[in-house]
């Protein structure tokens, strides 16, 4: 089996990986390069963007833009596979954005014909046998893949972590569905962020519960598709006795998860409790505003609230209108509001107005957890991707495993 990393050997995001055997090509992910990352630019890849596609397929690990964002640019004869709930969440997201960003109109169309796989159910494509393994990440219904052909196996990690709510079952699943593998193609986002994962998602939830009890009115900014954080906040608000408010878009995403047949949704975390999340109402004559009645204000004044907000004029206006001394919380990567970085989001920084609590933990694994993970899989070699320092990664792990650092477009034979 030949492995080629077309992009992502030295940047976080935009990874495109190819597993090839006998002319059959299995690609993993086709997303956008993140702002601030080195720009490899548009890719020209035989069997993916051009040429004969009759023996090619694309697997999507999860719905983050740096993994799925560019699939609308691919020829439409290419078969694409992803998780079912992930597809449904992407559909809500793209429907929400299609009037602002034209590519999402294409995405809505494309998602209709995307094929879905199931966690723990092997399927094959040409000579490849593919086992999708559900992983914990800041995207819901995210996957790693065990890819095998003619006795050689590789485990493609996708983005994942071991400090989330769903991580507790991970090792058991690895044992059951993966076993030992020959190679690991591994994400290494947090190589330079040793403190990014110092908190477990469950500990963060307790912090939120404490905050919601203490502060009557809290406004939290987080990524709309960070499902675990969203449900964590919802249950923390319930426990603190605070009404929990989201807009219709956010509620639609929550409903998809609650009503899905994902193996995870049996967990109470993904179910509604005594009170469902409250949906904000749009103003009858002005869709750019939420409707704020006197009785609504009175209710909020009495009970307090947890409001899930995004940086937009609509939310800014709402926050101005509703009562209470608001505690603002940023619950996503702080790089978005650090001036001078390319990922800087001026609107978000303005909405936060400089005074906020930072309550977050990374969606990516830390290096100590990675070592535990590698010891379980016992690979012959590790190939790092989704990292801005493959050199640092090699330095860290070469004491126990050979680390094969490739450059973009370089191939290596796995045998």
Round to whole Å and give the CA distance between 88 and 397.
38
Closest distance between Zn ion and the C-beta of residue 137, in Å?
A: 6
As a residue count, the chain comes to 415
Smallest gap from Cβ 312 to Zn ion, in A, equals: 23
List the one residue out of 387, 396, 392, 400 whose CA is nearest residue 157: 387
Residues of this chain that bind Zn ion (CB under 5 A) = 64, 66, 159
By beta-carbon proximity to Zn ion, the closer residue of 159 and 201 is 159
| In 115-216, beta strands by DSSP E | 115-117, 123-125, 128-135, 142-149, 152-156, 183-187
* 306: β partners: 218, 244
Nearest distance from C-beta of residue 339 to Zn ion, angstroms = 24
Work out how close the CB of 177 gets to Zn ion at its nearest, in angstroms, rounded to a whole number: 21
- Least CB distance from residue 144 to Zn ion, whole Å? 12
Min dist CB 363 to Zn ion, Å, is 6
CB closer to Zn ion, 66 vs 369? 66
**Pick from 77, 82, 20, 16: nearest CA to 52:** 77
- Please identify, using beta-carbon distances, which residue of 159 and 209 lies nearer to Zn ion: 159
- Other Cβ atoms less than 10 A from the Cβ of 347: the count is 13
Of 141 and 252, CB closest to Zn ion: 141
d(CA 86, CA 230): 16
Q: What is the rounded CA–CA span in Å between residue 270 and residue 288?
A: 30
- What's the start-to-end Cα distance of the chain, in Å? 7
Instruction: Supply the minimum distance, in Å, between the C-beta of residue 62 and Zn ion.
Output: 6
Return the number of the residue (114 or 219) whose C-beta is nearest Zn ion.
114
Find tokens 């954080």 and name the residue.
229
Contact 27, 16 (CB under 8 A): yes
Nearest to Zn ion of 20, 66 (CB atom): 66
Nearer to Zn ion (CB atom), residue 24 or residue 231: 231
Strands (E), 265-369: 278-279, 305-309, 327-330, 357-358
């Amino acid at each position: 089996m030949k492995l080629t990393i077309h992009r992502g050997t030295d940047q976080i995001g935009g990874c495109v990986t190819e597993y090839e055997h006998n002319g059959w090509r299995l690609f993993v992910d086709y997303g956008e390069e993140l702002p601030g990352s080195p720009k490899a630019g548009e890719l020209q890849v035989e069997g993916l963007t051009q040429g004969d596609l009759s023996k090619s397929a694309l697997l999507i690990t999860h719905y983050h833009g740096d993994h799925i964002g560019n699939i609308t640019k691919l020829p439409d004869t290419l078969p694409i596979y992803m998780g079912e709930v992930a597809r449904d969440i992407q559909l809500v997201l793209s429907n929400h954005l299609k009037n602002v960003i034209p590519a999402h109109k294409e995405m809505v169309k494309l998602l209709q014909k995307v094929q879905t796989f199931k966690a723990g159910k092997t399927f094959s494509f040409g000579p490849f046998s593919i086992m999708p393994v559900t992983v914990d990440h800041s995207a819901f219904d995210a996957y790693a893949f065990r890819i095998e052909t003619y006795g050689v196996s590789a485990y493609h990690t996708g983005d994942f972590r071991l400090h989330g709510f769903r991580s507790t079952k991970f090792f058991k699943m690895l044992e059951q569905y993966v076993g030992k593998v020959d190679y690991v193609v591994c994400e290494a986002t947090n190589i330079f962020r040793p403190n990014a994962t110092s908190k477990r998602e469950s500990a963060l939830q307790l912090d939120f519960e404490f905050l919601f009890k203490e502060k009557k009115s809290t406004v939290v900014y987080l990524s709309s598709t960070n499902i675990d954080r969203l449900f964590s906040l919802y249950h923390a608000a319930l426990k603190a006795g605070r009404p929990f408010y989201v807009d219709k878009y956010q509620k639609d995403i929550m409903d998809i998860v609650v009503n899905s047949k994902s193996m995870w949704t049996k967990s109470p975390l993904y179910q509604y409790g005594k009170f469902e999340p409250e949906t904000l109402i749009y103003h009858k004559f002005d869709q750019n505003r939420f409707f704020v009645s006197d009785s609504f204000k009175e209710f909020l004044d009495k009970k307090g609230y947890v409001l899930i907000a995004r940086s937009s004029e609509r939310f800014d206006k709402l926050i101005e209108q509703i009562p209470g001394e608001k505690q603002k919380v940023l619950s996503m990567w702080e790089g978005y509001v650090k001036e001078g970085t390319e990922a800087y989001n001026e609107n978000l920084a303005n909405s936060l107005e400089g005074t906020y609590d930072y309550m977050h933990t990374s969606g990516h694994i830390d290096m100590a957890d990675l070592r535990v993970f590698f010891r379980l899989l016992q690979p012959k070699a590790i190939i790092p991707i989704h990292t801005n320092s493959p050199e640092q990664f090699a330095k860290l792990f070469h004491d126990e495993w050979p680390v094969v650092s490739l450059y973009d477009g370089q191939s290596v034979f796995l045998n």
